[in-house]
Structure 1
Amino acid sequence: MKVRPLAITRNALSLGGGAAMLLLAACSFGPTGTPPAMPEPSHYGAQAQPEHTVAAQGVTQRFVAGAQPVPQWWRLYQSDALDALVDEGLRNSPTLDAADKHLAAAREQLRAQMGSSLLPTIDAGGQVSRQRALAIPEIGPNTFLYNVFVGQVQAQYTFDLFGAVRYANASLAKRVDLQAYQFDAARRALAANIVSAAINAAMLDAQVATTERLVALANEQAGDTQRRYALGAVSHSDMLSAQQSAASLAAGLPVLRQQALATRHALAVLLGRTPDAAPPTLDLTQLHLPDEVPVVVPSELLRARPDILAAEAALQAAAADVGVATAQMFPSLTLNASMGQGGFSWPAAVSGAGALWSIGASLSQPIFHGGALVAQRRAALDTYDATASQYKQTVLSAFQNVADTLAALEHDAQSLDAANAAALAAQRGFEETSARYRLGAVPVTAARASEQQYRNARLDEIRYTGARLADTAALFQAMGNPPPAPAIPRVSGR
């Protein structure tokens, strides 16, 4: 029968329309994975951050609104020793190395799944056997012994009619992206932890030195009081009070030393060292406070923080899982083909008479699975909704993190400014009293009490100096990474 061209065109249009419907159906099987809209506040905290902090120790930190995050922000402290510690940690940390290897393994698993699902599988096999068949009564009582030689190549391919494979590959790819963002977050967290540990170790070392001097002054005071008691110049209760003060102050010194050692041990482990190989403590006065810190706008923070990008990748993976669960409810078409040689003897197997081949197709349509497929799709949808809520919580927590660090920097500067003023006043008072003591105008007890007052004020100044340095590192960490630059398309001529 001859088919007219018009009929051919109509059939082609019908087939094309059917293919288009299948494509549209596959594209709409799951959510888009677009992150839910989040508020974009004009500022992070309950109060708008100022343009700069107060001038503490002569340094005013300026908040640069709309600036980009700084990749290697720890170099702004202008300490070669600190830079070396961070570089060593990023290079030798076992935790970071393990995360890197897990990421590499995940990428290889993605390559394996895409290779096995998008391309046909081809396998070669061979079989050589000697078999014994039971006797057939109509032919004779003897059994049959024979050899079988078979060699063949088999190919199989499953058509992704409704996108099940595409969605599964997309889900795994997004989970690999999630691990990549988590690795980036772990790398930045390691750098921040090293900087914080180095600052805390330097701060505790300075506190230990100041406290040791305070303990020495308290012991001198207790000794003088005891001698004066022996001379009858002071009461017994005055002597006991001086001894109690010295002992109480000395009791706190081992705690400070333990904290300093524990911080150094933790820093050594962060660097990939054993605690006995802890690095020397940095000098707190040699760390330069960055005078400018970036404040990324909230809309850009969503693209700069690895934890938010990881939550977005998890949301897109959950959306692809919904597509997989939906596509599994539709037909699956698989083609199988094989060719080879076989026979009951080796010469026959390799001859033309031993040629073997087969080709076929199988179509499978789920009909009844006890409601399992429907339940799996509902579970995937519920998981997607839960992941969307987790994304929102991640963004809100990131906003809170930035707001807290901004407020901490402002308050650190205020506290340090007051502590610095108190320490300078106490130092001047101590210097004047010491000068008067050398001239014989005041007793040694007055000079000792003046120095104690100065050392106590110095302890507060050291504490707030360390807090300001550490909170600055926390703010740099909270800002995330600069977003990647857009790829420039290459223009090729004919």
Structure 2
Amino acid sequence: MNGRLTRAAAVLGLASSLGLAGCALGPSGRPPAVPEPARYVAGPPPDAAPADGPELVAAQAPEASWWTTFGAPELDALVAEARAANPDLAAARGRLEAAREVLRAQVGATELPSVDLGAQAARQRALGLPLELPPPLPELPRTSLYDTFVGQAQVRYTFDLFGSIRERNRALAERVEQRAAQWRAAREALAANVVSGALTLSVLQARLRILASVADGLRRDAAESARRQALGAAPRAAVLDARRQAEAVAAQIPGLRAQALTLRHALAVLLGRTPDRAPEAIPFERLRLPARIPVLVPSALLAARPDVQAARAALAAAAHDAGAARADLFPSLTLTAAMGRGGYDWPAALSPEGALWSLAGGLTAPLFHGGALRAQQRASLRAYAAAEDDYRSTVLAAFREVADALASLEQAGAAQAAGDAAAGAARGAAADAARRAALGAVPPSAARAAGRQAELAELDALDVRAQRLLEAARLFHAMGAAPSAAP
């Protein structure tokens, strides 16, 4: 018995040492070096940040629940509802959990011994053997009727001598992590889409209010021109021109209403609702520009971006695939053992004579496979090189997304400053025209025209303010997912 234990320990020690040696069979799986930008945006930095914010601060982690910084509780409720009820996100979470269970099943089936219990009871009638016996011995029956009882436990284990099983399991584990990172990316994209849709819907409703007011004022001017024409104080061309301007503005309203309804329907689907239960628009005046936005340094950005995490996991999986393909070129060892009892009746099966056992070992070494194993190894190395390029591309795309969002936010701030100044000047001109009309210095139509110009200037300022809000949301999303977003 001691000799058997010694030999078994020697086999296990050899398998363990060879398994450790298998760790170096494939590439390292470490992400390749990618140059990090000294600053995200090309060109010189801006002379000064806008006085009304947002303040861009260097950070090591993205803002958690960044949509709350827009100051609208309705927006926070929409994001929470979408994360809880969106069917696409729930389906992705279900597929992720299924992939984790598949990983557990594969690890348990390949890295641990399998033990099975079996029992069999049978009653059989078989043909007897014809024997020629000399007389006067009686002739034996040519059939036999008998019972068999067998029960045994079977154990099977494959020693992972060169790491083929281990590498494949690690590759599957990395792909599960890749799926988890993709789920986090989908979760963050859902929040960004809800925020963007809600902000755009608020802007559309504000535009509709302003355009309706402008169209109503133009119709009043057209009606006044018609009255003046009836009195002979205005030409017919002036009436037609006033009507043209009124209807041209009114023609923009149905398209904006359809656009707003389409956006509401899209938001309803994101929230897991039917289109008839679409959310109402958040009043635009309830929204505010965030006071500060954390801008991650490049190294922290790569750690926070789910798409970069997914690319890193895909690279590690490709490295383990290459290691498994290399390990397939070496032998594999499988041991099987069985122990039980059997007999032609229960007393015989339970007696010492009914003991059954078997022990077998099989060593398989690839000899000739038509070059398939070498081709699979070369293919895995090519796939690993492609995964490295995919990682570099993903990192550069992340840097570009942040750079684009920063540049757009900066330019939106400059545009808002100019738009607010223009709207302020138009409002001052409208107030001045109203005072002059009250004194009789100009006709009332001139005051109304100045008021319409102020409304149109306010419409332009509204667009640039909305663009600034959207760019701020885009920059928040570009910073990646907070640590609390792990599935």
- Same fold by TM-score, threshold 0.5 exceeded? yes
Higher mean Cα deviation, 298-307 or 311-320? 298-307
Give the CA deviation at 1:386.
Answer: 1.0
Higher mean Cα deviation, 475-484 or 383-392? 475-484
Question: CA contact under 8 A between 2:181 and 2:310: conserved in structure 1?
Answer: yes
* Residue of structure 1 equivalent to 2:28: 32
* Residue of structure 1 equivalent to 2:166: 166
* Residue of structure 1 equivalent to 2:4: none
Give the CA deviation at 1:141.
Answer: 7.2
Give the CA deviation at 1:142.
Answer: 2.1
Secondary structure in structure 1 of the residue aligned to 2:122 = strand
For residue 46 of structure 2, the aligned residue among 37, 44, 50 is 50
Letter in 2 for 1:73: W
Letter in 1 for 2:27: P
Q: How many residues align?
A: 469
Secondary structure in structure 1 of the residue aligned to 2:57 = strand
* Residue of structure 1 equivalent to 2:65: 72
Find the aligned partners of 1:288 and 1:53 in 2 and give their Cα distance: 17
* Residue of structure 1 equivalent to 2:136: none
Question: CA contact under 8 A between 1:308 and 1:395: conserved in structure 2?
Answer: yes
* Residue of structure 1 equivalent to 2:85: 92
Find the aligned partners of 2:241 and 2:60 in 1 and give their Cα distance: 57
Secondary structure in structure 2 of the residue aligned to 1:144 = strand
Higher mean Cα deviation, 427-436 or 226-235? 226-235
Find the aligned partners of 2:34 and 2:44 in 1 and give their Cα distance: 19
Find the aligned partners of 1:134 and 1:378 in 2 and give their Cα distance: 58
Find the aligned partners of 2:272 and 2:459 in 1 and give their Cα distance: 32
Letter in 2 for 1:77: F
The 3 A distance-change label for structure 1 pair 15 and 137 is: closer
Give the CA deviation at 1:114.
Answer: 1.5
Find the aligned partners of 1:18 and 1:334 in 2 and give their Cα distance: 14
Deviations 1:113-169 (A, max 9, x none): 222222110011122333343443336672333333222111100001000111111
Give the CA deviation at 1:60.
Answer: 2.5
**1:108 partnered with 2:101:** yes
Give the CA deviation at 1:182.
Answer: 1.3
Letter in 1 for 2:73: D
Find the aligned partners of 1:196 and 1:18 in 2 and give their Cα distance: 60
Find the aligned partners of 2:48 and 2:74 in 1 and give their Cα distance: 28
Question: CA contact under 8 A between 1:52 and 1:60: conserved in structure 2?
Answer: no
Question: CA contact under 8 A between 2:185 and 2:481: conserved in structure 1?
Answer: no
Deviations 1:350-385 (A, max 9, x none): 333222111111111111112211111111111111
Deviations 1:260-297 (A, max 9, x none): 12222222222222222222321212212112211211
Find the aligned partners of 1:350 and 1:66 in 2 and give their Cα distance: 74
Secondary structure in structure 2 of the residue aligned to 1:38 = coil
Question: CA contact under 8 A between 1:53 and 1:62: conserved in structure 2?
Answer: yes
Find the aligned partners of 2:447 and 2:47 in 1 and give their Cα distance: 43
Give the CA deviation at 1:67.
Answer: 4.9
Give the CA deviation at 1:407.
Answer: 0.3
Question: CA contact under 8 A between 1:153 and 1:339: conserved in structure 2?
Answer: yes
Give the CA deviation at 1:230.
Answer: 3.6
Question: CA contact under 8 A between 1:52 and 1:61: conserved in structure 2?
Answer: no
Instruction: Report the TM-score, using the length of structure 2 for normalisation.
Output: 0.90
* Residue of structure 1 equivalent to 2:342: 342
Superposition map of 1:434-453 within 5 A:
434-453=434-453
Secondary structure in structure 2 of the residue aligned to 1:316 = helix
Give the CA deviation at 1:30.
Answer: 0.7
Unpaired runs of at least 5, structure 1: 1-10, 485-494
Unpaired runs of at least 5, structure 2: 1-6, 133-139
Higher mean Cα deviation, 236-245 or 324-333? 236-245
Secondary structure in structure 1 of the residue aligned to 2:251 = helix
**1:129 partnered with 2:122:** yes
Superposition map of 1:145-294 within 5 A:
145-294=145-294
> What fraction of aligned residue pairs are identical, expressed as a percent?
49
The 3 A distance-change label for structure 1 pair 294 and 106 is: same
Give the CA deviation at 1:456.
Answer: 0.9
Find the aligned partners of 1:81 and 1:429 in 2 and give their Cα distance: 36
Question: CA contact under 8 A between 1:328 and 1:373: conserved in structure 2?
Answer: yes
Question: CA contact under 8 A between 2:19 and 2:160: conserved in structure 1?
Answer: no
Find the aligned partners of 1:438 and 1:332 in 2 and give their Cα distance: 100
* Residue of structure 1 equivalent to 2:373: 373
Find the aligned partners of 1:381 and 1:101 in 2 and give their Cα distance: 32
Find the aligned partners of 1:371 and 1:255 in 2 and give their Cα distance: 65
* Residue of structure 2 equivalent to 1:393: 393
* Residue of structure 2 equivalent to 1:488: none
* Residue of structure 1 equivalent to 2:458: 458
Find the aligned partners of 1:268 and 1:209 in 2 and give their Cα distance: 23
Find the aligned partners of 2:262 and 2:398 in 1 and give their Cα distance: 29
Question: CA contact under 8 A between 2:15 and 2:161: conserved in structure 1?
Answer: no
Secondary structure in structure 2 of the residue aligned to 1:179 = helix
